[in-house]
């Protein structure tokens, strides 16, 4: 009887509550593909990716059919390309991005991440070339995602890189102006980036990972919201416990899918990232969970406290369900990808400043935020610096994925389509941060970073 109830509950979570596996991501190390000859390196990269990932999509679809659980995305993450291409004599890495794009298309995945550089403490030759290549790489490929880590709690913040990334973000949006600046939606700037993140656009395969591994990113905001509807007006102790139980069930499903995929592909199972990842679909919103706790609109006073309850309970429930939890694991609040966040911006409940406060709690940061096309590179850099400061001071991952939409201003809405949704243009400060950003150098690591 209990087994029958569990099956019926799972069916309800899938059909009514939008439960899905957001991504099965294969991480592939490219360390053995480095070569002084860029063309040879790219040939090795293409061959390795297409060899190991050739059955990834097929296996994921088989598991979808067997379990009846949608697996929305099949993805690949690779070793930060700056580390691999840096061994070559190439002066531009756009060709490496095109190789990743070709390999991803060959095996049929949705995205490939890892056109990345790690510069929290300084640049190598490969880092400099890769960062300079990002705008053209993202405008000339379809499936490639890029990321740059500009700070960490142990290293501080590389303000030279912060200044450069504001310019890179703006140029990337301008080069894809005909698509609403879509290229910038495939670029993330991190502080405290993690090695095993399965979510795009920030996924890359860390150097401490196995040669090839399977990671899973779960979802299920609708499941949590439905559970909270049953404890309306109850104390927060009950709210937290209810979220924990829902997160446990969601994570169990992720672990099952991950272990099945890893076994059938003959590679190790890595982690489950138990982040609640929303979509623009009705019933699949993190914002609606926060509103179910008692907020008239997400963004009003009390939102940050509600988000703290949600994030903590999700982590506790997920950790009970799976021995290998990793990635970002919390709650995502991307503006364009969450119908509740979109509507809150439209009615003025959410501002860029309130979003920044929420990022002290959530899994990532200023994610899929559209700002006026006239926003300066220095202002974008200042937003990156603020998020990095929150991350390094709180021992957490923070990130910025902002699109300065060419030709648009406050009051306009940019349509990206699909999972990327739509984004009302958010106002940013009219006052300049240019002198601060022009200082450059490195903000030292905080005192609490020294733990040896």
DSSP string, 142-171: SSEEEEEEEEETTTEEEHHHHHHHHHHHHH
> What's residue 361's pLDDT?
85
Query: Is 223 found in the same domain as 172?
Result: no
Whether residue 201 lies inside any domain: the answer is no
> What's residue 12's pLDDT?
53
Query: Is 267 found in the same domain as 357?
Result: yes
pLDDT at 245 over 80: yes
The residue to which tokens 């490939």 are assigned: 112
Query: Is 394 found in the same domain as 333?
Result: yes
Residue 68 CB neighbours (<10 A): 12
Q: Which CATH number is 167's domain given?
A: 3.20.70.20
Residue 178 CB neighbours (<10 A): 9
pLDDT at 422 over 90: no
Output 4 or 40, whichever has higher pLDDT: 40
Query: Is 226 found in the same domain as 146?
Result: no
Question: Per-residue b/e over 247-276, b at no fewer than 16 CB within 10 Å?
Answer: bbbbbbbbbbbbbbbbebbebebbbbbbbb
| C-alpha 226: how far from chain center | 25
pTM for the whole structure:
0.92
> What's residue 362's pLDDT?
80
- Interatomic CA distance for residues 355 and 307, integer angstroms: 11
Reported as a pLDDT band with limits 50, 70 and 90, residue 18 is low
Looking at residue 425, the DSSP 8-state letter turns out to be P
Q: In percent, how much of the chain has pLDDT > 70?
A: 96
- Interatomic CA distance for residues 310 and 276, integer angstroms: 10
Q: What percent of the chain is helix, strand and coil (3-state, nearest 5)?
A: 45, 20, 35
pLDDT at 210 over 60: yes
> What's residue 9's pLDDT?
52
Whether residue 196 lies inside any domain: the answer is no
Whether residue 203 lies inside any domain: the answer is no
Query: Is 135 found in the same domain as 276?
Result: no
Query: Is 177 found in the same domain as 224?
Result: no
> What's residue 21's pLDDT?
86
DSSP string, 395-432: TS-EEEEEEEETT--BTBEEE--GGG-EEEPPP--SS-
Q: Are 298 and 340 in contact (CB under 8 A)?
A: yes
Give me 198's structure tokens: 């399965």
Question: Smallest Cα–Cα separation from 322: which of 265, 260, 250, 266?
Answer: 250
The SS3 call for residue 276 is strand
Whether residue 2 lies inside any domain: the answer is no
Q: In percent, how much of the chain has pLDDT > 90?
A: 73
Structural domain containing residue 133:
18-191
Query: Is 316 found in the same domain as 433?
Result: yes
> What's residue 419's pLDDT?
74
Reported as a pLDDT band with limits 50, 70 and 90, residue 10 is low
pLDDT at 85 over 70: yes
Whether residue 13 lies inside any domain: the answer is no
> What's residue 3's pLDDT?
42
Query: Given 135, 156, 191, which residue is the final one in a domain?
Result: 191
- Interatomic CA distance for residues 130 and 275, integer angstroms: 29
Whether residue 452 lies inside any domain: the answer is no
Query: Is 177 found in the same domain as 250?
Result: no
Tens digits of per-residue pLDDT, 323-365? 888 888 878 888 888 899 999 999 999 999 999 999 988 878 8
Output 281 or 229, whichever has higher pLDDT: 229
Reported as a pLDDT band with limits 50, 70 and 90, residue 310 is very high
pLDDT at 7 over 50: no
pLDDT at 393 over 50: yes
Residues 78-94 have a mean pLDDT of 97
Whether residue 267 lies inside any domain: the answer is yes
Which helix or strand (DSSP H or E) is residue 187 part of?
A: strand 187-191
Q: What does DSSP say about strands 187-191 and 212-218: parallel, antiparallel, or unpaired?
A: unpaired
Query: Is 252 found in the same domain as 171?
Result: no
Give me 53's structure tokens: 């990932």
Tens digits of per-residue pLDDT, 56-80? 999 999 999 988 888 989 999 999 9
Query: Is 380 found in the same domain as 274?
Result: yes
Whether residue 77 lies inside any domain: the answer is yes
Q: Are 229 and 243 in contact (CB under 8 A)?
A: no
Say how many domains are in the chain.
2
pLDDT at 271 over 50: yes
Query: Is 425 found in the same domain as 280?
Result: yes
Tens digits of per-residue pLDDT, 150-205? 999 999 999 999 999 999 999 999 999 999 999 999 999 999 999 999 999 999 99
Query: Is 183 found in the same domain as 222?
Result: no
């Amino acid at each position: 009887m209990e087994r029958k109830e569990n099956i019926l509950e799972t069916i309800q979570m899938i059909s009514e509550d939008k439960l899905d596996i957001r991504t099965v991501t294969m991480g592939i190390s490219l360390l053995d593909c480095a070569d002084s000859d860029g063309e040879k390196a790219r040939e090795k990269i293409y061959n390795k990716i297409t060899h190991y990932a050739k059955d990834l999509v097929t296996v994921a679809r088989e598991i979808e059919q067997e379990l009846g659980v949608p697996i929305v995305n099949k993805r690949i993450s690779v070793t930060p390309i700056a580390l691999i291409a840096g061994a070559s004599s190439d002066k531009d890495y756009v060709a490496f991005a095109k190789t990743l794009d070709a390999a991803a298309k060959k095996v049929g995945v949705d995205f490939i991440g890892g056109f990345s550089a790690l510069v929290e403490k300084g640049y190598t030759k490969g880092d400099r070339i890769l960062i300079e290549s990002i705008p053209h790489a993202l405008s000339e490929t379809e499936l490639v995602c890029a990321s740059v880590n500009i700070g960490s709690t142990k290293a501080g913040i590389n303000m030279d890189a912060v200044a450069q990334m504001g310019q890179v973000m703006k140029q990337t949006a301008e080069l894809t102006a005909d698509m609403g600046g879509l290229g910038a939606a495939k670029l993330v700037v991190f502080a405290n980036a993690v090695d095993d993140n399965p979510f795009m656009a920030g996924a890359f395969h860390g150097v401490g990972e196995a040669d090839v591994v399977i990671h899973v990113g779960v979802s299920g905001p609708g499941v949590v919201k439905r559970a909270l509807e049953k404890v309306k007006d109850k104390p927060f102790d009950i709210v937290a416990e209810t979220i924990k139980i829902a997160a446990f069930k969601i994570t169990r499903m992720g672990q099952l899918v991950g272990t099945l995929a890893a076994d059938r592909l003959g590679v190790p199972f890595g982690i489950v990232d138990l982040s609640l990842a929303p979509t623009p679909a009705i019933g699949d919103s993190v914002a609606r969970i926060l509103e179910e706790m008692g907020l008239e609109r997400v963004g009003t006073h009390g939102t940050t406290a509600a988000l703290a309850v949600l994030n903590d309970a999700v982590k506790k429930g997920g950790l009970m369900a799976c021995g290998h939890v990793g990635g970002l694991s919390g709650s995502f609040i991307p503006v364009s990808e969450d119908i509740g966040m979109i509507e809150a911006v439209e009615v003025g409940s959410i501002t860029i400043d309130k979003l920044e406060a929420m990022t002290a709690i959530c899994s990532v940061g200023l994610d899929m935020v559209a700002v006026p096309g006239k926003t300066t590179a220095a202002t974008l850099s200042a937003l990156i610096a603020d998020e990095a400061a929150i991350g390094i001071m709180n021992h957490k991952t923070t990130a910025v994925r902002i699109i300065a939409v060419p030709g648009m201003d406050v009051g306009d809405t940019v349509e990206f389509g699909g999972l990327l949704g739509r984004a009302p243009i958010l106002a940013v400060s009219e006052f300049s941060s240019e002198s601060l950003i022009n200082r450059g150098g490195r903000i030292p690591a905080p005192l609490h970073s020294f733990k040896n």
